[in-house]
Chains A and B, each alone.
Chain A
Amino acid sequence: MTGDEVFKHWMQNVQAVDLGDREIMDPARSGKSVGEIVRDAGGGLVFDTEPARYYKLLRELAPDVSGK
Chain B
Amino acid sequence: MTDLPSNPCDATLTDIAAAIAAGQVSSSEVTEASIERLKSYSDALNLLAGIDEGDAMRQAKEADANPGRQPLSGVPLAHKDMFYRPGRMSECGSKIRKGFVPDQLSGALKRLDNAGALDIARLNMVEFALGVTGHNEITGNVRNPWNPLHITGGSSSASGAAVAARATFGALGSDTGGSVRLPAACCGVVGMKVTMGRVSRFGAMPLSHTLDTIGPLTRTVTDNALMLSVIAGYDADDASSANVAVGDYMRGIEEGAKGLKIGLPTSHFMEGITDELAARFQDAVEVMKKAGAEIVDVDLPDAIQYSNALTSLITATEGAAIHQHWMETRGDEYGKQTFARFAGGFATPATRYVQALNLRTALLAEFNEMVFGKVDALMTPMMVMDIPTIKETDVGDGPNAAAMLQRVGHCSRPVNFLGLPGLSMPTGFANSGLPSSIQFVGRPFDEATLYRLGRAYERETEWFKTAPDPGAWGKVA
Contacts and interface: CB of A to CB of B under 8 A. Distances in A.
Nearest to B303: A41
A34 B352 contact: yes
B477 interface: no
A37 B313 contact: yes
B240 interface: yes
A40 B340 CA distance: 25
B341 A18 contact: yes
Interface in A46-68: 46, 48, 51, 53-55, 57-59, 61-63, 65-66, 68
Nearest to B442: A63
Interface string B340-352: 1101101111001
Contacts of A58: 195-197, 242, 364, 419, 444-445
A8 B190 CA distance: 42
Contacts of B347: 14, 19, 22, 24, 34
Contacts of B368: 61
19 contacts: A6-B328, A9-B339, A17-B344, A17-B402, A18-B401, A26-B406, A27-B402, A34-B348, A38-B310, A41-B303, A41-B307, A48-B358, A54-B357, A59-B242, A59-B445, A61-B368, A63-B443, A63-B448, A65-B246
A59 B341 contact: no
Interface residues of A, number: 44
A6 B443 contact: no
Nearest to A62: B445
Contacts of B365: 57
A19 B320 CA distance: 14
A14 B344 contact: yes
Contacts of B305: 29
Contact of A38 (B246, B247, B312, B359): B359
A47 B367 CA distance: 20
Contact of A25 (B197, B309, B346, B360): B309
Interface of B: 195-197, 240, 242, 244-247, 252, 303, 305-310, 312-313, 316, 327-332, 336, 339-341, 343-344, 346-349, 352, 355-365, 368, 372, 397-399, 401-403, 406-407, 419, 443-446, 448-449
A54 B364 contact: yes
A13 B343 CA distance: 9
A44 B318 CA distance: 19
A1 B331 contact: yes
Q: Which 8 A-B pairs have the closest CB atoms?
A: A65-B247, A10-B343, A28-B403, A62-B445, A43-B355, A41-B306, A25-B309, A1-B331
A9 B372 CA distance: 46
Contacts of B242: 55, 58-59
A42 B328 contact: no
Contacts of A27: 402-403
Contact of A46 (B349, B355, B397): B355
A41 B58 CA distance: 54
A57 B364 contact: yes
Nearest to A65: B247
A30 B18 CA distance: 53
Given A40-B306, A41-B359, A59-B244, A13 B197 contact: no
B453 to A, nearest CB: 14
Given A43-B358, A55-B197, 18 more contacts: A13-B336, A14-B397, A19-B347, A24-B313, A27-B402, A38-B355, A41-B359, A41-B363, A42-B362, A43-B359, A48-B361, A55-B196, A57-B361, A58-B364, A58-B419, A59-B242, A61-B445, A62-B244
